[in-house]
Amino acid sequence: MTVSVLAKMEEYDHEQVVFFQDKGTGLKAIVAIHNTTLGPALGGTRMWPYATEEDALRDVLRLSRGMTYKAAAAGLNLGGGKAVIIGDPKKHKSQSFFRMFGRFINTLGGRYITAEDVGIDVNDAEYMYMETDYVVGIESNHGGSGNPAPFTALGVYQGILACMKKKFGHEDLTGIRINVQGAGSVGSNLAELLVKSGAKVTIADIDKERVEGLAKRLELEVAEPNQIITMPCDILAPCAMGAVINDRTINELQCQIVAGAANNQLEHDSHADLLGKRGILYAPDYVINAGGLINVYQELEGYSPERAERMTRGIYYNLMRVFEISEDQKISTRDAADYLVKRRLDKIGRANNVYSPRSKNLLENIHNRRA
């Protein structure tokens, strides 16, 4: 196991992977710190009944690397990290379980800061907060930032405007047909922004109640979940699951832009080239869906919703930069985003090489001397 973990870490170039277990509470967790060039690694904790330890490890390595890219592309001074807890969120939760997890997180001394992800809610984060400061997404009375989804939706909306400008030369959404997959936290907030801007929105969700509730509140159409991806529209906004752009769907798409919140929308990186060849403009997922991360980041500096909103609006410009590089270098928008990330990591990494009396290492050394 040890050898294969190190080999996997090397494959994605991870800095650190930590395993935690506690027999008393049944806690089994893995924290992966991918890269801390830009700052402490931040990423949520996912709780899932993984079939094998290997599945959990694969997920945490993949997700933590994604966080490095998302933070770097958003211009945040954060590294990439993620935690997974192997367990069933419906069965294995308790106060002691999450307090123990919080204690473990605390031992990392701020190299990793956690938050909510699939299977973890704000109550669980509050239990962690009893034991560690290194958690964001907590209640607002503790200085927390609340639900990130409206910020993610706002970022996607800004990204859609950038795509409009690039593809159609204007940002007027009146009459523009937009298909949204998923009427969850992000999809419903996004649909509302789009409808208010005059777009003709069609939405689908496997949860009929959810989508019908939304249709009562907003002027939009409802479609079948198995048709929404390939139905004709101007813009497709995937806001449900990953890998919706795949070998089966790519030739069936009838849209001009793909711009949505879902993580890992492309089954393979090569699908970005295929979208380009079909003349479909793709907004790389980790660039357009960074609004939620931008929002929780504000907790580290003292939460301000106004600043979170201002920075989230910057996603428009981040995407414009990606499109510019894609055009200049004749590479896919996905490769252009990766290029921007690598360049930022390289530049800041170089700056970190220069000794500064304000550097954190010096402070650490002074603390060590006193101890």
Catalytic residues: 82
Shortest separation between residue 344's beta carbon and ligand NAD, angstroms: 20
φ/ψ bin of 28: left (φ > 0), alpha (ψ from -120 to 50), beta (otherwise):
beta
Least Å from the CB of residue 367 to ligand NAD: 35
Minimum Å gap between C-beta 297 and ligand NAD is 13
- CA distances to 153, 162, 191, 295, 328 from 291, rounded to whole Å, are 7, 15, 16, 6, 27
Site residues, ligand NAD (CB under 6 A)? 148-149, 152, 181-187, 204-207, 210, 225, 239-241, 261-263, 289, 292
- Distance from CA of residue 154 to its chain's centroid? 14
Distance of alpha carbon 223 from alpha carbon 225, whole angstroms = 6
Q: How far is the CB of 254 from ligand NAD (least distance, A)?
A: 17
How long, in residues, is the chain?
371
Cβ proximity to ligand NAD, 74 vs 183, nearer residue: 183
- 140-145: Cβ within 8 A, 24+ apart: 140/303, 143/299, 143/302, 143/303, 144/299, 144/303, 145/295, 145/296, 145/298, 145/299, 145/303, 145/305, 145/308
User: What is the SS3 string spanning 234-251?
Assistant: CEEEECCCCCCECCCCCC
Q: Please report which helix (H) or strand (E) contains residue 21, including its range.
A: strand 16-22
Residue 25 or 246 with smaller CB distance to ligand NAD = 246
Encode burial over 230-245: b for 16+ CB neighbours within 10 A, e otherwise.
bbebbbbbbbbeeebb
The answer to whether 281 touches 257, Cβ cutoff 8 Å, is yes
Q: Which residue in the shown chain puts its C-beta closest to ligand NAD?
A: 184
Closest CA to 218 of 234, 205, 200, 206: 200
Q: Report which of 5, 7, 60, 58 is spatially closest to residue 29, judged by C-alpha positions.
A: 60
Q: Which is nearer to ligand NAD, 100 or 315 (CB)?
A: 315
Q: Which neighbouring-strand residues pair with 47?
A: 85
Of 116 and 338, nearer to ligand NAD (C-beta) is 116
- When the beta carbons of 209 and 328 are compared against ligand NAD, the nearer one is 209
Residue 133 CA to residue 114 CA, distance in Å, equals 10
- Least distance from ligand NAD to the Cβ atom of residue 210, Å: 5
State the minimum distance, in angstroms, from the CB of residue 181 to ligand NAD: 5
| Residue in 169, 221, 171, 217 with CA at minimum distance from that of residue 197 | 171
Nearer to ligand NAD, 164 or 261 (CB): 261
Q: Which is nearer to ligand NAD, 152 or 326 (CB)?
A: 152
The least CB distance from residue 341 to ligand NAD, in Å, is: 17
Query: Which burial class, exposed, middle or buried, applies to 49 when counting CB atoms under 10 A from its CB (0-12, 13-18, 19+)?
Result: middle
